[in-house]
């Protein structure tokens, strides 16, 4: 049993921390809203602390899943950040989707402190976190990856070491680019079928087993047909992620015309009041 800490108990972080506790680890939790940390401890055990720095004391491994670059910097590098108290040789794994820049910065800062740092964004959504079936794309040194992987197995069905520090984050950008394009295609196909007076269930049956199939089609066609958009990952967060990809593309010279277009379509959904709806709400901007 290891002493582990988890920073950030949102819809992803709370169930991941639960899997770590279920695996037998001694779990300490920190959340910006203390009441949420106390509620987690009341349900799953362990202890809650008031600062990230307190969470880092004597921990063998620390995990985080917060909001954006600024939140991650706050829990790691600022005065009460966890990097100030973690012991040499400890593992730090970040599951937040952030810029590759800050992921690389944390790897350097961690190396200078004798820490093993892995950027490890996830795919699979809230259901994957709850069920312990996340896909994790990891960036970091081989040594850091070897130290982190035994912990990750508690809540992941796929763990891939994709490259050096920052590679996990750029791979997550690839993931979001693919999702954006797939959802736009499903949205247009759905509205085209409706305009053609086709039976949507029959269309799904006909095309979901062939080359047109995707996770988005298989899992969202029916809910999109029903105008139901309460299934996890929100438009607001997708826009954040696509913004990261577009920023990185400006640095590495990649061209992302479809991603840029779909990002603006998501802006339309935000203006329609759908920022907290899930990403399949993209279909809302297309008239029936």
Burial class (CB in 10 A: 0-12, 13-18, 19+), 40: buried
Distance CA 103, CA 273 (A): 32
pLDDT, average across residues 188-207: 98
Summarize the confidence of residues 237-265 as an average pLDDT. 97
In the predicted structure, residue 228 carries a pLDDT above the cut 90: yes
Question: Which residues lie closer than 8 Å to 209 by C-beta, 6 or more apart?
Answer: none
- Topology of the domain comprising 170-285: 1.10.1040
Q: How much is the mean pLDDT over the chain?
A: 97
Domain with CATH 3.40.50.720 in the chain: 3-163
**Ranges of CATH 1.10.1040.10 domains, the chain:** 170-285
| 172 annotated active-site | yes
% of the chain with per-residue pLDDT over 90:
97
Residue 28 is predicted with a pLDDT of 98
pLDDT value at position 1?
86
What's the CATH number for 3-163? 3.40.50.720
pLDDT band at residue 264 under the 50/70/90 scheme: very high
Instruction: Answer yes or no: is pLDDT of 232 > 80.
Output: no
Tell me the Ramachandran region of residue 242: left when phi exceeds 0, alpha when psi lies from -120 to 50, beta otherwise.
alpha
pTM: 0.94
Give me 92's structure tokens.
Answer: 């730090």
For residues 193 and 205, is the Cβ–Cβ distance under 8 A?
no
Q: If you ran DSSP here, which 8-state letter would residue 282 be given?
A: G
Could you tell me whether strands 134-139 and 122-123 are parallel, antiparallel, or unpaired per DSSP bridges? antiparallel
pLDDT interval class at 48 (50, 70, 90): very high
Q: Catalytic pick from 3, 88, 172, 288?
A: 172
Residue 126 · residue 101 · CB < 8 Å: no
Under a CB-based contact definition with an 8 Å cutoff, are residues 7 and 55 in contact? yes
- Beta-bridge mates of residue 134: 156
């Amino acid at each position: 049993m290891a002493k582990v800490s988890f920073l950030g108990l949102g819809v992803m972080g709370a169930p991941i921390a639960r899997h770590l506790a279920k695996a037998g680890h001694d779990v300490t939790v920190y959340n910006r809203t203390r009441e949420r940390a106390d509620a987690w401890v009341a349900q799953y055990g362990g202890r809650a602390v008031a600062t990230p720095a307190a969470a880092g004391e004597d921990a063998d491994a620390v995990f985080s899943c917060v909001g954006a670059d600024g939140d991650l910097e706050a829990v790691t590098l600022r005065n009460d950040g966890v990097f100030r108290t973690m012991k040499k040789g400890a593992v730090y794994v970040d599951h937040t989707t952030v810029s590759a820049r800050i992921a690389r910065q944390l790897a350097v800062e961690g190396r200078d402190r004798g820490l093993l740092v892995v950027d490890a964004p996830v795919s699979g959504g809230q259901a994957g976190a709850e069920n312990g079936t996340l896909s994790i794309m990891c960036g970091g040194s081989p040594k850091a990856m070897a130290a982190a992987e035994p912990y990750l197995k508690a809540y992941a069905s796929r763990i891939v070491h994709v490259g050096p520090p920052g590679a996990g984050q750029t791979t997550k950008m690839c993931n979001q680019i693919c999702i954006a394009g797939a959802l736009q295609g499903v949205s247009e196909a759905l509205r085209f079928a409706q305009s053609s007076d086709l039976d949507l269930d029959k269309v799904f049956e006909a095309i979901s087993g062939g080359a047109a199939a995707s996770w988005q089609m298989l899992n969202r066609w029916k809910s999109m047909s029903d105008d139901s958009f309460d299934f996890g990952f929100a438009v607001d967060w997708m826009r954040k992620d696509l913004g990261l990809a577009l920023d990185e593309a400006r640095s590495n010279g990649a061209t992302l015309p479809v991603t840029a277009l779909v990002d603006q379509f998501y802006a339309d959904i935000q203006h329609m009041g759908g920022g907290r709806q899930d990403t399949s709400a993209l279909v809302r901007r297309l008239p029936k």
